[in-house]
């Protein structure tokens, strides 16, 4: 597998577009294993004729964060590819790939730890933070690779994993795609290029999306419920793993940071950090999971998402008494929500102002920070936002 990949990449003119973690990993691999001529296009490089460089490139590794739509380009304009597409082309038969709007990382980590418990060799890579080219040199033909795929990593790919898992779909990343339909179509690539020997695990709710899923030809016998644990049992069934190991994996599992993460209990209040929440549906699921949330903090960057369903849900949740709203989406919700349903509704521009207000009120109960919006106008990413929230709470 590795030899075929090196042969494919060798003696070419290759451009890496975007020099973040993934771009640097790609560059390191190409430098070590090939004799290809490599160019870097990034905000820090002085490339006056980008499109001219693209025209003479045999391959262009585009980083996931770069939107072709926002750059007025289409996939067919040049020889675009990605590390995810190249990985699936040569190692897809070993791959258990997970995508969906929410729940990808947790599901991927659960499956990874399940296979670890069988003592088989398994790697974890992809959108969870480990570039594919970091693990490729050490993969053998008997290994498993559990890979989390974002829509950006799946966009325009022509290969799919052996076991594909499509968890759920909600409108997301509308600032990246030309339309919500394009976002959904990118997600469908997780299974579109499978063959009759491959497996797809999906959910009944997928059929009710605004842009219905295309005909699924290859599925497991049972469509599962929308829950990472159900997915785990389904994967175990496909791989003939004893259910006792599934139980062991679940019992020993620790949640990922920024995903309904318990922060601290202070002055009678339990604080939870769910900064990963970037859409209304994930906020709703967080409220459901904790069950007794009475203090809710939400809001962030406005990307044109409809918040009417979230407003309706929290208006009808009798537990939520105090609603703290911030940033652009918070202002929109503040202007539209029925404030008579709550003991207090507060709008502030920043998270620090919200926490100061919270401190002054001296409330008790369960406080959930679940923004239901992107973070990019005030923070680098959801991790930075979550860490900032935790630092403010720890200083209370």
CB 318 within 8 A of CB 343: no
Residue 106 labeled ligand binder? yes
Q: Report how far residue 160's alpha carbon sits from residue 188's, in angstroms, rounded to the nearest whole number.
A: 10
127 half-sphere exposure, CB direction, 13 A CA radius: 21
Cβ neighbours of 206 (radius 10 Å): 20
How does strand 269-273 pair with strand 261-266?
Answer: antiparallel
Q: What angle do CA 8, 10, 16 make, to 5 degrees?
A: 90
Residue 101 labeled ligand binder? yes
Residue 105 labeled ligand binder? yes
Token reading at 370: 């679940």
Residue 52 C-alpha from the chain's centroid: 33
What one-character DSSP code corresponds to residue 223? P
Residues whose CB is less than 8 angstroms from the CB of residue 344 and which lie 6 or more positions away in sequence, other chains included = 321, 322, 323, 361
Q: What is the CA radius of gyration of the chain?
A: 22
Token reading at 197: 């020997």
Residue 309 labeled ligand binder? no
Residue 126 labeled ligand binder? no
Residue 248 labeled ligand binder? no
167 by DSSP, 3-state: which? coil
Q: Report how far residue 332's alpha carbon sits from residue 73's, in angstroms, rounded to the nearest whole number.
A: 33
Using alpha carbons, list the distances in angstroms from residue 386 to 77, 128, 155, 351, 389. Answer: 38, 16, 28, 11, 5
CB 383 within 8 A of CB 288: no
Residue 103 labeled ligand binder? yes
Order across the sheet with 261-266: list the strands.
Answer: 261-266, 269-273, 365-369, 295-298, 322-326, 344-348
Q: Report how far residue 178's alpha carbon sits from residue 174's, in angstroms, rounded to the nearest whole number.
A: 7
Closest CA to 354 of 394, 310, 393: 393
Binding positions: 100-106
Binding positions for ATP: 100-106
């Amino acid at each position: 597998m590795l030899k075929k990949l090196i042969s494919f990449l060798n003696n070419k003119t290759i451009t890496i577009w975007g020099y973040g973690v993934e771009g640097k990993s790609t560059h390191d691999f190409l430098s070590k294993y090939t004799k290809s001529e490599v160019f870097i296009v990034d905000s820090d490089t002085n490339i006056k004729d980008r499109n001219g460089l693209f025209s003479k490139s045999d391959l262009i590794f585009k980083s996931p964060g770069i939107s072709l739509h926002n750059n007025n380009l289409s996939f067919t304009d040049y020889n675009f590819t990605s590390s995810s597409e190249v990985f699936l082309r040569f190692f897809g038969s070993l791959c258990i790939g997970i995508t969906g709007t929410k729940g990808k990382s947790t599901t991927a980590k659960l499956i990874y730890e399940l296979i670890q418990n069988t003592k088989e060799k398994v790697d974890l890579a992809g959108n969870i933070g480990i570039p594919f080219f970091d693990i490729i040199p050490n993969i053998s033909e008997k290994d498993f690779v559990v890979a989390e795929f974002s829509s950006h990593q799946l966009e325009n790919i022509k290969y799919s994993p052996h076991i594909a898992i499509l968890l759920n779909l909600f409108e997301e990343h509308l600032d990246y795609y030309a339309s919500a339909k394009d976002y959904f179509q990118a997600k469908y690539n997780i299974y579109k290029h499978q063959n009759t020997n491959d497996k797809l695990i999906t959910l009944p709710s997928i059929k009710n999306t605004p842009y219905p899923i295309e005909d699924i030809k290859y599925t497991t016998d049972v469509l599962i419920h929308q829950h990472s644990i159900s997915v785990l049992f389904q994967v175990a069934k496909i791989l003939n793993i004893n259910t006792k190991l599934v139980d062991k994996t679940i019992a020993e599992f620790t949640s990922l940071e920024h995903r309904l993460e318990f922060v601290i209990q202070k002055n009678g209040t339990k604080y939870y950090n769910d900064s990963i929440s970037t859409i209304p549906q994930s906020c709703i699921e967080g409220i459901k999971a904790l069950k007794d949330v009475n203090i809710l903090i939400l809001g962030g960057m406005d990307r044109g998402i409809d918040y009417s369903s979230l407003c309706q849900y929290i208006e009808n949740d009798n537990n939520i008494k105090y609603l703290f709203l911030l940033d652009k989406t918070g202002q929109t919700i503040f202007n539209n929500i029925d404030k008579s349903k709550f003991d207090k509704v507060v709008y502030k521009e920043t998270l620090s102002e919200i926490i100061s207000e919270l401190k002054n009120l001296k409330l008790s109960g369960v406080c959930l920070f679940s923004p239901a919006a992107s973070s990019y106008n005030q923070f680098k990413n959801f991790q930075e936002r979550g860490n900032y929230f935790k630092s403010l709470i720890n200083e209370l």
